[in-house]
Amino acid sequence: MSVNHISVPLPLGVEPSKTDLELLQATFQAIIALRYENAVRRDAMLSVIEDEGWNVRWGLTWVAEARRGNDYEQATGSTTESALGCLYHLVQMAKLEGCP
């Protein structure tokens, strides 16, 4: 059986707007493209790395960036909350190191 569509339940109480639905569709299309485009090349690279004894874990991440003048901080995380939490700590550390 070939499946070419998926369904994803939304949290209770969520009533997505037309814009929300377009954003979700674009997001899922991007994830699908990232997952399946160049799969042969990706799998070959992964195989070489693992054959050299490495254990590989990979996935999609969120990137949070903060800029102020010449100052720049960047953090990544598996969720928006974890990326923003890391970024918050980096910005707070910048204050402690003398950056106002």
Indicate the number of domains in the chain.
Answer: 2
Is residue 12 a part of any domain in this protein?
no
**Through-space distance between the first and last CA atoms of the chain, rounded to whole angstroms:** 60
Is residue 27 a part of any domain in this protein?
yes
Is the pTM value of this prediction over 0.85?
A: no
One domain for residues 69 and 46: no
Distance CA 2, CA 48 (A): 31
- Output the six-digit token pair for 24: 């979700």
Is residue 69 a part of any domain in this protein?
yes
Is residue 9 a part of any domain in this protein?
no
One domain for residues 47 and 68: no
Coil vs helix vs strand at 63: strand
Strand partners, 67: 72
One domain for residues 69 and 90: yes
Is residue 41 a part of any domain in this protein?
yes
Domain of residue 25 covers 18-51
pLDDT tens profile 25-76: 999 888 888 878 888 888 899 999 999 999 998 877 899 999 999 889 999 9
